[in-house]
Amino acid sequence: MSLSVQELSFSYGAKRALDAVSFEAAPGRFTALLGPNGAGKSTLFSLLTGLFVAPLGRIVVAGHDMASAPRAALAAMGVVFQQPTLDLDLSVRQNLRYFAALHGLSARVADARIDAALDRLDMRERAGEKARALNGGHRRRTELARALLHEPRVLLLDEPTVGLDAAARAAITVHVHDLAAGGLTVLWATHLTDEVLPDDDLILLHRGKIEAAGRAGDLHGAMPLKDWFLTRTGEPA
Amino acid sequence: MTRWSVAFGAIASREVLRFVHQRERFLAALVRPLVWLLVFAAGFRAALGLAITPPYQTYIPYETYILPGLCGMILLFNGMQSSLSLVYDRETGSMRLLLTAPLPRGFLLFAKLCGATFIGILQVYAFLGIAAAFGVDAPAWGYLAVLPALVLAGLMLGALGLALSSFIKQLENFAGVMNFVIFPMFFLSSALYPLWKMAESSRLLHDICLANPFTHAVELIRFALYLQWNGWALLWTGLATVAFMALALWGYDPARGLVRRKG
């Protein structure tokens, strides 16, 4: 398994945000972490990315334990955060270069990978433009390309379609499904059921606990996923 | 180049690049001390007679006295400005990007601190140049000798800003920093008046000024600018740098949860 979470618990003071959460995400699979707002998805992502440390439980990324080898684990991980993290005053290329350097890629290697990534996105000619000039969809795609520059084995996305229009949302969802099909381990957090396909692996997180886990189509059966989600969480999707 | 130096260069140069994009900030950073030097000092020149006190070897005009203090002021404001940008980074999410880089957190923060210090020093030299053009100058070699003092003072004040940024929850609270950090630190120091003058009016205020690390940073700059050694100021500034850096590291400790408050 590329990503393994075991018995992870976390509290904000007296408030329990995650309660003995365990799951695994496999290479080549799109694993959707579905949960309503406040289910604990963002807390889980903060723990997975080492922004804070869980006193209880274990996270292993590509064989590296987050507690004992956090840097090796982070190096194997690409992250698209819920909040936009592009520096709007820097050009697209400068943003990508900055990230590549944070991961220790030399300028030569970084530039080659950046060119390839921008070509894939049909954005090569916009490399010199400031990130501010890009629309929401392009900004997200740039962030996604950036998260892949250091060739991670695990890709984490925290509600990456927030604020995007329907077309941009569909495009990025399809794109990441393709990446998973190419062998990447993908963990995609969302509260939107239409981003999950029947063949995806699905983890349902509700009030800090895993309510259900398995192949999406097996879990919701004949019932539309949206209705299944509603009945399990009691909240509108 | 190792991956460490690549990352260090990227983080530090991003700080510089960001500063270059904010021309108004550069202008404001220069106007503030110049107003003090050319307006405030001119007014006080007549009121304050300064006796000979080290490192000066002759009677000096007030403008000459406050020159090092204004260098300290630039570094102080720069340190707080970088603290502000860190809080902003945290709110926009780019802090997450930095802190998920596969390098030790202390190293990442130190790289950011070095970038901010470099910017502060650039501003100080621009200010010293303009001051010299107005006839307020120091010995020629002093401009070189002051560099290490500026580096240490800049690191100290930048580390203070870094530590503060880990405790400031929101951008809106920044005005409080102005009131409770910048002003007391600046006015309760030897930047504008020598400590012996302060002792004449209040022993307590004098003692507070003496304990203020900013006083020692200013004295370090003052002595270096006149090619003199001040071991006590160096020691005090160095200790304060280490203490502020330790506080910043504690503030950004993932076990404490930097962004925990923001969810």
CATH code for the domain in which residue A165 is found: 3.40.50.300
Rounded to 5 degrees, what are φ and ψ at A146?
-65, -40
How many folded domains does chain B comprise?
1
pLDDT at residue number B263: 38
pLDDT tens-digit readout, A155-194: 999 999 988 889 989 999 999 999 999 999 999 999 999 9
Last residue of a domain, one of A151, A178, A200: A151
* Contact call for residues A46 and A52 (beta carbons, < 8 A): yes
pLDDT at residue number A51: 86
Q: Which of B223, B77, B67 is nearest to B131 (CA)?
A: B67
Q: What is the ipTM of this complex?
A: 0.84
One domain for residues A25 and A72: yes
> Least CA distance to A76: which residue of chain B?
B102
One domain for residues A92 and A19: no
Q: Where are the beta strands (DSSP E) in chain B?
A: none
* Contact call for residues A110 and A101 (beta carbons, < 8 A): yes
One domain for residues A51 and A160: yes
Q: A98 by DSSP, 3-state: which?
A: helix
Quick check: B119 contacting A, CB < 8 Å? no
One domain for residues A97 and A124: yes
**A114 falls within a domain:** yes
Please report the number of interchain residue pairs, chain A to chain B, with beta-carbon separation below 8 angstroms. 96
- Tell me how close the Cα of A223 comes to any Cα of chain B, in angstroms: 33
One domain for residues A145 and A159: no
One domain for residues A142 and A64: no
Which pair of tokens denotes residue B88? 């902003």
**Facing residue for B98 by CB, picked from A72, A94, A102:** A102
**A81 falls within a domain:** no
Q: Where are the beta strands (DSSP E) in B12-124?
A: none
Rounded to 5 degrees, what are φ and ψ at A79?
-130, 135
User: Exposed, middle or buried: residue A92 (CB in 10 Å: 0-12, 13-18, 19+)?
Assistant: buried
One domain for residues A183 and A141: no
One domain for residues A199 and A103: no
pLDDT at residue number A218: 94
One domain for residues A112 and A124: yes
**A82 falls within a domain:** no
Place of tokens 């970038």: B115
**Domain range spanning residue B26?**
3-262
Alpha-carbon distance of B109 to A179, in angstroms, equals 33
Distance of CA B202 to the CA centre of its chain: 26
Alpha-carbon distance of B113 to B85, in angstroms, equals 12
* CB burial string A158-167: b at 16+ within 10 A, e below: bbbbeebeee
One domain for residues A110 and A61: no
Q: Where are the alpha helices (DSSP H) in A4-69?
A: 41-48
Which pair of tokens denotes residue A179? 């990446």
Chain A residues whose CB is inside 8 A of the B99 CB are 50-51
B221 Cβ contact partners less than 8 Å away, ≥ 6 residues apart: B68, B71, B72, B146, B149, B150, B153
pLDDT tens-digit readout, A68-105: 999 999 999 999 998 888 988 889 999 999 999 999 99
Which residues partner with A215 through β-bridges? A201
- Tell me how close the Cα of A10 comes to any Cα of chain B, in angstroms: 11
**Domain range spanning residue A230?**
1-76+153-237
Alpha-carbon distance of B166 to B173, in angstroms, equals 12
One domain for residues A173 and A64: yes
One domain for residues A67 and A1: yes
How many folded domains does chain A comprise?
2
- Tell me how close the Cα of A179 comes to any Cα of chain B, in angstroms: 21
Could you say which residues of chain B have pLDDT below 70? 1, 46-52, 171-172, 255-263
